């Protein structure tokens, strides 16, 4: 018998989404900007300490707008965590600015504050004060944002917090996406909740979020006719997508609990193996555990590494994925500067993302457990 494929992270609807879509249809709010967008933004704002929110087409468009609003332009330096998904970085290039990539630290796998400060000093010294810093909360784990905020203050450089993977994660009682000058979210298909495609930009500055909405709707001036004074974009989320988002937010806490259960499942199974390690939650940190990822230290084993495990899972029709390949290793960015000691290279080489959907069933976990037990000789 052929076992059904187990996916890494697939959309998981709670049930209310379809009612919200039906409601939008009943009101004939199929057109781009309708009341569901406003409600969706209101719910997002509640999570993010009443900050202001604009819902957009994608996380990538949110970063593009954030950079725009910070006045980033041609030849400006933008410091960015190297270990991330390309969506964090492409918008820097849309503006013809220059990314400089910063290494990770070993605990959270996110941007290393020491390497960041070295980069800031290096560029200030040559008269090129960085225009912005983009930090990422990889796989749901908050970065060491308090150290980063101190540097941001000390050198007066604003922060864009890419919280695309960390909706619902927090440090103490502050939610990710609320720390930076701008926070950005993504509701792409594989994220912890999805609107089938979407994103958001967050700020405590009401005027900047109003400006984001303006830029996201072709920068149309407030006149009876079509008047334009600056370049805009078609970046607003659709009303139907926002309707899905309202339903998804109702189950966010439940889905986070299920993702954290997945993490505990893998941790209980594998953490005692010498040579296998996990992304650690520092004191006071709370990760939504979007994707559980492990590091396999090849030197501790005979003929075992993350790639061999990936193939073994694949042969059992179970999807797993390599970690994001750091940006300083990408052919696209081979001319770019990188500051750090290649910690992200090592994490990337050893890492593997395991199936982590909130819809993973007990049966599916049993299948995964069997393969992992066999692979690591746990029986
Ligand atoms: C998904 C993701 C993005 C981009 O979001 P989209 O909605 O897919 O454009 C940006 N940064 C990170 C870290 C992501 O995981």
Q: What is the pLDDT of residues 155-211, one digit of tens each?
A: 999 999 999 999 999 999 999 999 999 999 999 999 999 999 999 999 999 999 999
Check: CB of residue 338 under 8 Å from CB of residue 328.
yes
Q: Is the CB of 60 under 6 A from ligand 1?
A: yes
Burial 200-236 (b: 16+ CB within 10 A, else e): bbbbeeeebbebbbbbbeeeeeeeeeeeeeeebbebb
CA of 321 to the centre of ligand 1 (A): 16
Q: Which domains does the chain have, with CATH numbers?
A: 16-249 (3.40.640.10), 252-375 (3.90.1150.10)
8 Å CB contact between 322 and 348 = yes
Residue from 85, 111, 195, 197 to probe ligand 1 pocket by mutation (most atoms less than 8 Å from CB):
85
Distance between Cα 58 and ligand 1 center (Å): 7
Query: Among 61, 92, 165, 216, which residue has the most ligand 1 atoms within 8 Å of its CB, making it the best to mutate?
Result: 165
CB contact set of 232 (below 8 Å; sequence gap of 6+) = 214, 215, 216, 217, 218, 219, 220
Q: Is the CB of 59 under 6 A from ligand 1?
A: yes
Span 38-71, pLDDT tens digits: 999 999 999 999 999 999 999 999 999 999 999 9
pTM: 0.97
Q: In terms of Cα–Cα distance, which of 139, 185, 146, 111 is closest to 288? A: 139
CB 127, CB 79: distance < 8 Å: no
Q: How many whole angstroms from 127 Cα to the centroid of ligand 1? A: 32
- Measure the CA–CA gap between 346 and 344, rounded to whole angstroms: 5
Ligand 1 pocket mutation, candidates 87, 104, 195, 327, criterion most atoms within 8 A of CB: 87
CA 351/CA 18 separation, integer angstroms = 37
What are the beta bridge partners of residue 111? Answer: 104
Q: Which residues of the chain have pLDDT under 70?
A: 1-2
88 CA distance to ligand 1 middle (Å): 7
């Amino acid at each position: 018998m052929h076992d059904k494929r187990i996916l890494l992270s697939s959309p998981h609807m709670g049930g209310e989404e379809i009612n919200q879509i039906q409601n939008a249809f009943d009101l004939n709010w199929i057109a781009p900007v309708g009341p569901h967008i406003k409600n969706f933004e209101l719910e997002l704002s509640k999570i993010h300490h009443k900050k202001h929110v604009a819902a957009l087409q994608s996380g990538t468009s949110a970063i593009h707008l954030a950079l725009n609003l910070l006045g980033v332009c041609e030849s400006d330096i933008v410091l960015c965590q190297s270990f991330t998904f390309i969506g964090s970085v492409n918008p820097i290039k849309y503006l013809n600015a220059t990314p400089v990539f910063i290494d990770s630290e070993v605990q959270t796998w996110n941007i290393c504050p020491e390497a960041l400060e070295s980069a800031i000093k290096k560029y200030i010294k040559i008269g090129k004060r960085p225009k912005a810093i983009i930090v990422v909360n990889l796989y749901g784990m908050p970065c060491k944002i308090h150290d980063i905020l101190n540097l941001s203050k000390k050198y007066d450089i604003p922060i864009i917090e890419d919280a695309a993977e960390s909706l619902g994660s927090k440090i103490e009682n502050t939610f990710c996406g609320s720390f930076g000058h701008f926070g950005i979210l993504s509701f792409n298909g594989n994220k912890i909740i999805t609107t089938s495609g979407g994103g958001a930009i967050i700020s405590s500055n009401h005027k900047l979020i109003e400006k984001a909405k303006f830029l996201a709707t072709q920068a149309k001036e407030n006149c009876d006719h079509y008047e334009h004074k600056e370049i805009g974009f078609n970046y607003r989320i659709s009303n139907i997508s926002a309707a899905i988002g309202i339903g998804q937010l109702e189950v966010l806490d439940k889905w986070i609990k299920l993702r954290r259960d997945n993490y505990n499942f893998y941790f209980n199974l594998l953490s005692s193996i010498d040579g296998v390690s996990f992304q650690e939650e520092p004191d006071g940190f709370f990760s939504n555990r979007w994707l559980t990822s492990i590091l396999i230290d090849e030197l501790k084993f005979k003929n075992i590494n993350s790639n061999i495990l990936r193939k073994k899972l694949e042969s059992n029709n179970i999807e797993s994925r390599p970690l994001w390949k750091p940006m300083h290793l990408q052919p696209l960015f081979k001319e770019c500067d990188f500051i750090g000691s290649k910690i992200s290279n090592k994490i990337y080489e050893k890492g593997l993302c395991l199936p982590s959907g909130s819809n993973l069933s007990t049966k599916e976990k049993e299948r995964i457990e069997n393969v992992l037990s066999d692979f690591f000789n746990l029986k």
